[in-house]
């Protein structure tokens, strides 16, 4: 397991051995949902209303019935023409833009909120038709693949929106209603945009302001031209995320858009580049979004309008946006399985999960603690939201102490504060005496570590880690033994004797 270890204003990454006493930890990463259950209203009749768009959705695919919070029966797979014929009593086949609005981009196989739309994982209903024809080929229509699939020529991400032959058999989820502002449109005429006269446009439907050119190109004389200041116009997703906070047209809050924001620009009536080419006179095979894929890689928009994923190290273009949700602060950090107690003047390790940036940018953690040694709580280097950062705090006073952390995004917005209390207890001075003696007596095993004079505590264990020899020397309060793990034992934890024996030998009693 590799973790980021921050101490004394230094962040270092190293791999931990399999286990040391209670040190072996599993550090989960919790993603931020794009379609949380709170965004839906349960209508109590097997339908839900999506508050974001005003659309009313059936909770089950056609062929199934919603009974006792579950979808029962067998979902029906049909051709595209048959799918369109299922529309009745105000229910209709959704457009591709509408169907993509309920894709959960932080879920996988299926890429949907299973609490709102249950049963898909075991029903086989994974590919769903939209009503939108594919402009480049009348023999195809747009559909959404809720389960990822690998082909020899392409990887389809879980939740991708791509064309499929109209004779294929796919599933159907019907929709009705919507509102004029929230319901996604499939066409994007010039009148949908306001030209700001500075190389940017504002999309009236969303309020988002977009650059008219991709990064690496400049706006001039009504067109995008290769930038004279940069020879690079394609980027990895990580590099594209670093554009957050860049300056253009008098603003410094530009950022990479989310996948859902990028999809608001797609004109599904276009053939070559599925954007309004008058508004965006660009040439791009694919545009990165700031939305990560649950396992690896990230979401992007292909030139034909397909919403899909790609993986490192591939490079794509970047079209920046500002406004909308860009003023939203990042999510608060989270303490993962924090210790309830520690020992005075011993460092105690905390695992803190950085809150995510709603726009997908990198964030930093800022932490402080009461009665702690100054300089032991550095801000972490910028990390992706969901990264677990390991911090060590040394408290100089016994009693109840408090650790507070917040997440800060690339433009200085701060999250709410996350707080954790811990009880600091007195320690047997023999522990520290013995470790200093061992370092002096056995320097080949315990050379002074880079964080010299630092002792760590984890639950009922106290220990010192020595990076130069990848060794640990520690104690247990549960059995009064002294433990060692390192190269001398093939990284296996062993008992080297009792505390009484070693403390007597070291003259620490």
pLDDT of residue 30: 35
Could you give the domains of the chain? 2-31+331-425 (2.60.40.10), 37-177 (3.10.100), 190-327 (3.10.100), 429-506 (no CATH)
3-state helix, strand, coil in the chain (%, to 5): 10, 35, 50
Mean pLDDT across the stretch 32-53?
90
**Nearest-angstrom CA–CA distance, 482 and 438:** 12
Identify whether the C-beta of residue 458 lies closer than 8 Å to the C-beta of residue 476: no
Give exposure, 436-475, as e/b (b: 16+ Cβ within 10 Å): bbbbeeeeebbeebebeebbbbbbebbbbbbeebebbbbb
Cis upstream peptide for 262 (omega within 30°): no
Cis upstream peptide for 110 (omega within 30°): yes
Instruction: Single out the residue of 105, 163, 156, 161 nearest to residue 134, CA to CA.
Output: 163
Which is more confidently placed, 78 or 34?
78
**Nearest-angstrom CA–CA distance, 339 and 360:** 30
Structure confidence by residue, pLDDT tens digits, 396-455: 899 999 999 998 887 788 888 999 999 988 877 788 888 889 999 999 998 876 444 456
Mean pLDDT, rounded, of the chain: 82
**Nearest-angstrom CA–CA distance, 301 and 481:** 59
Band of the pLDDT at 227, cuts 50, 70, 90? confident
Q: Is the pLDDT of residue 103 over 60?
A: yes
Phi-psi group of 385: left, alpha or beta (phi > 0 → left; psi -120 to 50 → alpha; rest → beta):
beta
Q: Is the pLDDT of residue 77 over 60?
A: yes
Structure confidence by residue, pLDDT tens digits, 358-388: 766 678 888 888 887 644 444 456 777 778 8
Identify whether the C-beta of residue 353 lies closer than 8 Å to the C-beta of residue 366: no
Structure confidence by residue, pLDDT tens digits, 294-320: 777 888 999 989 988 888 778 999 999
Other C-beta atoms lying within 10 Å of the C-beta of residue 387 = 19
Other C-beta atoms lying within 10 Å of the C-beta of residue 72 = 12
Burial of 275 (0-12, 13-18, 19+ CB in 10 A): buried
pLDDT of residue 310: 86
Task: Report phi then psi at 434, rounded to 5.
Answer: -65, -40
pLDDT-above-70 percentage for the chain: 85
Structure confidence by residue, pLDDT tens digits, 201-221: 999 888 899 999 999 999 988
pLDDT of residue 454: 57
Residue 254, both tokens: 């530009």
Band of the pLDDT at 127, cuts 50, 70, 90? very high
pLDDT of residue 266: 93
Three-state DSSP state, 198: coil
């Amino acid at each position: 397991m590799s973790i980021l270890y921050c101490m004394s204003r230094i962040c270092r990454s190293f791999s931990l051995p399999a286990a040391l006493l209670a040190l072996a930890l599993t550090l989960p990463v919790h993603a931020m949902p794009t379609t949380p259950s709170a965004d839906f209203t349960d209508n109590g009749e097997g339908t839900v209303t999506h508050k974001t768009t005003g659309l009313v959705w059936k909770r089950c695919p056609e062929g199934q019935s919603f009974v006792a919070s579950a979808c029962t029966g067998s979902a029906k797979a049909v051709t595209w023409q048959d799918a369109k014929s299922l529309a009745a009593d105000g229910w209709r086949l959704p457009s591709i833009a509408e169907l993509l609005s309920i894709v959960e981009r932080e879920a996988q196989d299926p890429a949907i909120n299973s609490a709102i739309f249950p049963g898909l994982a075991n029903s086989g209903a994974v590919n769903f038709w939209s009503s939108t024809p594919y402009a480049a080929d009348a023999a195809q229509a747009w559909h959404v693949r809720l389960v990822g699939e690998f082909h020899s020529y392409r990887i389809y991400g879980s939740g991708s929106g791509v064309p499929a032959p109209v004779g294929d058999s796919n599933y159907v989820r019907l929709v009705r209603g919507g509102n004029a502002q929230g319901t996604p449109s499939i066409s994007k005429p010039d009148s949908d945009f306001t030209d700001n006269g500075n190389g940017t446009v504002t999309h009236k439907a969303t309020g988002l302001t977009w650059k008219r050119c991709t990064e690496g190109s400049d706006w001039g004389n009504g067109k995008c031209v290769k930038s004279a200041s940069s020879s690079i116009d394609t980027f990895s997703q990580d590099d594209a995320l670093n554009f957050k906070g860049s300056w253009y047209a008098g603003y410094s809050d530009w950022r990479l858009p989310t996948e859902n924001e990028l999809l608001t620009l797609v004109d599904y009536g276009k053939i070559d580049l599925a954007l309004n080419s008058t508004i965006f006179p660009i040439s791009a095979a694919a545009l990165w979004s700031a939305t990560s894929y649950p396992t690896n890689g990230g979401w992007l928009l292909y030139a034909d309008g397909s919403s899909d994923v790609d993986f490192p190290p591939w490079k794509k273009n970047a079209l920046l946006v500002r406004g909308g949700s860009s003023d939203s602060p990042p999510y608060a950090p989270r303490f993962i399985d924090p210790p309830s107690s520690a020992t005075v003047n011993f460092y105690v390790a905390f695992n803190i999960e950085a809150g995510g940036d709603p726009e997908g940018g990198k964030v930093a953690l800022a932490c402080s603690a009461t009665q702690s040694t100054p300089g032991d709580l550095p801000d972490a280097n910028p990390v992706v939201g969901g990264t677990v950062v390991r911090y060590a705090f040394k408290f100089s006073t016994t009693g109840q102490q408090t650790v507070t952390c917040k997440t800060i995004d690339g433009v200085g917005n701060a999250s709410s504060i996350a707080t954790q209390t811990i009880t600091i207890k007195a320690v047997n001075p023999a522990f520290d005496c013995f470790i200093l003696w061992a370092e002096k007596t056995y320097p080949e095993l315990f050379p002074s570590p880079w964080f010299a004079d630092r002792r760590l505590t984890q639950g009922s264990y106290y220990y010192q880690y020595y990076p130069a020899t990848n060794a640990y020397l520690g104690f247990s309060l549960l059995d009064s033994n002294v433990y060692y793990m390192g190269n001398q034992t093939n990284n296996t934890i062993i008992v080297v004797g009792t505390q009484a024996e070693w403390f007597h030998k070291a003259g620490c009693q």
